[in-house]
Amino acid sequence: MRVLITGADGFIAKTLRVKLVERPDIEVLSYTRDADPATLPALVAQADAVIHLAGVNQSSDAEGFRVGNADFTRQLAGLLYADGRALPVVMASAEQTRVQTPYARSKWEAEQVLKAYATATGAQVYIYRLPTVFGKWAAPDRHSTIATWCRDIATGQAVTIDDPAERLRLVYVDDVADEFIRVLQDRPVLEHPRVPVEYTSTAGEVLNALRAFRASRATLATPDVGTGLLRALHATYLSYLPPDEFSYRIPRHADARGAFVEVLKTPHAGQFSFFTAGPGVTRGGHYHHSKTEKFLVLRGRAHFRFRQIVSGLTHQIHTDGDTPEVVETVPGWTHDITNVGDQELIVMLWANEVFDRDRPDTIAAAL
């Protein structure tokens, strides 16, 4: 399938084009703001479907909106009529069409043009009135406020907002692109097309989340960024980091036994660390009532010893970095680990809870 994208150099189009290029069964045809209008008829003639993203969202007068939105869509529809194949069209419109502004009127007129094309030809036309779209590659100060906040916070600039309680309806650019591809592939009948994944939040909540992402480099406490809005915001925020901010240093605590480094702390899934030990060094010698840990030797040879603190039952485990094997600590068993190799021992450690100095649940007990 050959898909023509108008406005192919815009915010949504950048992600959409990348996702389409990843598909071996799809060829992308691009028409950009700077393209020669004389090339558009040939592109329509080659296309099997159209994703209409071209438009103007900033103009000094109403004429600019009319020409960039309504008139260009009329030009495109005229070529679709002339082509005679009733090509399917996906259009990105705006939620603001319900508001009486020059921009809103121009988008509404563009919608009516494509609806008329659908009625006259039987073509499938999907018009998405999108709420605020956010994600990577949006232009700060132009495409979305979230892009501006991400850039400013990522570069250490101050951000203030007038109304933290302002309600926001948001869709993530990757979800928008996936939905556009889905409808062109499946051609469902949709009376009111919408992106199925939509988020509701407040300006203050979004801004606080972005600030927490930056602060996590100092606190090592990363929010729950694996799902939902926080996942999308986290990916968006990171996309605005300048390359010289792609890495950051974390504290290293060392003594005669070796080094201990906390890497990452989470709100609900514990924390990740690693430690080292020189040849013959033993670390540990304690038990926990509820805390559990997973150890993985990355380099070297280790001897784990366990003793049940009530029954006295003992157990031993030998492991090394060549054979990945997770060793778990069990509540009520005191344990230690000794480097029995001739090189530095490096061990990755996960604990199910973030260390709390007031309630460490770590009781010294020799084996």
The rounded distance, in Å, linking the Cα atoms of 280 and 345 is 10
pLDDT at 65 exceeding the cut of 60: yes
Confidence of residue 306 (pLDDT cuts 50, 70, 90): very high
- 1-130 in CATH: which number? 3.40.50.720
Q: Which two tokens stand for residue 248?
A: 């950051």
Task: Judge whether 291 and 353 are in contact, CB under 8 Å.
Answer: yes
| Stated pTM of the model | 0.92
In the prediction, which pLDDT does 51 show? 98
Q: What is the pLDDT of residues 323-353, one digit of tens each?
A: 999 999 999 999 999 999 999 999 999 999 9
In the prediction, which pLDDT does 62 show? 85
Confidence of residue 61 (pLDDT cuts 50, 70, 90): confident
Helices (H), 155-266: 173-186, 203-219, 228-238
The rounded distance, in Å, linking the Cα atoms of 153 and 126 is 36
| Sequence-distant (≥ 6) Cβ neighbours of residue 355 within 8 angstroms | 262, 271
CA nearest 229: which of 339, 331, 98, 134? 134
User: Which residues partner with 260 through β-bridges?
Assistant: 253, 275
In the prediction, which pLDDT does 99 show? 63
Q: Please, what sign has the CA dihedral across residues 68, 74, 78, 84?
A: positive
Tell me what the mean pLDDT of segment 68-83 comes to: 95
Tell me what the mean pLDDT of segment 159-185 comes to: 97
Instruction: Name the percent of the chain lying above pLDDT 90.
Output: 91
C-alpha 212, offset from chain centre: 15
Quick check: helix, strand or coil at residue 104? helix
The rounded distance, in Å, linking the Cα atoms of 181 and 198 is 17
- 132-172+196-248 in CATH: which number? 3.40.50.720
Q: Catalytic residues, which ones?
A: 103
In the prediction, which pLDDT does 123 show? 97
Tell me what the mean pLDDT of segment 31-47 comes to: 96
pLDDT at 197 exceeding the cut of 70: yes
Q: What is the pLDDT of residues 204-235, one digit of tens each?
A: 999 999 999 999 999 999 999 999 999 999 99
Return the DSSP state at 257: T
Q: How many CB atoms lie within 10 A of CB 208?
A: 13
Mean pLDDT of the chain: 95
In the prediction, which pLDDT does 55 show? 86
In the prediction, which pLDDT does 78 show? 97
Order of strands, sheet of 253-255, starting from the edge strand that comes earlier in the sequence: 253-255, 258-265, 271-277, 345-351, 293-299, 326-329
pLDDT at 38 exceeding the cut of 60: yes
The domain 252-364 is classified under which CATH number: 2.60.120.10, 2.70.98.70, 2.40.170.20, 3.30.70.20? 2.60.120.10
pLDDT at 246 exceeding the cut of 80: yes
The rounded distance, in Å, linking the Cα atoms of 78 and 45 is 12
Tell me what the mean pLDDT of segment 163-183 comes to: 97
**Which residue is associated with the tokens 């008139």?**
71
Task: Judge whether 125 and 91 are in contact, CB under 8 Å.
Answer: yes
CA nearest 207: which of 128, 149, 122? 149
Return the DSSP state at 67: I
Q: What is the pLDDT of residues 122-168, one digit of tens each?
A: 999 999 999 999 999 999 998 889 999 999 999 999 999 999 999 99
The rounded distance, in Å, linking the Cα atoms of 94 and 81 is 24
Confidence of residue 44 (pLDDT cuts 50, 70, 90): very high
In the prediction, which pLDDT does 144 show? 85
Q: Which regions of the chain carry the CATH code 3.40.50.720?
A: 1-130, 132-172+196-248
Q: Which two tokens stand for residue 149?
A: 């906040």
In the prediction, which pLDDT does 111 show? 95
pLDDT at 97 exceeding the cut of 80: no
